[in-house]
Amino acid sequence: MFRGCREKLELMALEAHGMVLAKLERNYERDRKDVQRLAEAGLLDRLELWRRYRKELRPYLARTDWHDQTLRMWTEVLWPDSSAVDRD
């Protein structure tokens, strides 16, 4: 491209925890693989993920039990050695 032609272009992207929360509803295999890659890259923190889920997403969900279980399943797979159990 030409120098200076993108001066008004603004790129925005989700932070890793926000991306995981965006994938929670669909929960396809490709979403789980994406989440696995983010965790393997060290971009996710289990406690931060649960904090953001409870604060930013859960209050707006209709099927909270289903989403709670999905996130619990994901965190058990991603952090199997974690002694803390995430509960509401």
Q: How confident is the chain (88 residues) per 10-residue block, as mean pLDDT? A: 72 94 96 96 97 97 96 95 59
pLDDT, residue 88, reads: 44
> Contact, 38 vs 16, CB < 8 A?
yes
2 sits in the region (left: phi over 0; alpha: psi -120 to 50; else beta) called: beta
Give the number of other Cβ atoms within 10 Å of residue 66's Cβ.
Answer: 13
> Contact, 65 vs 88, CB < 8 A?
no
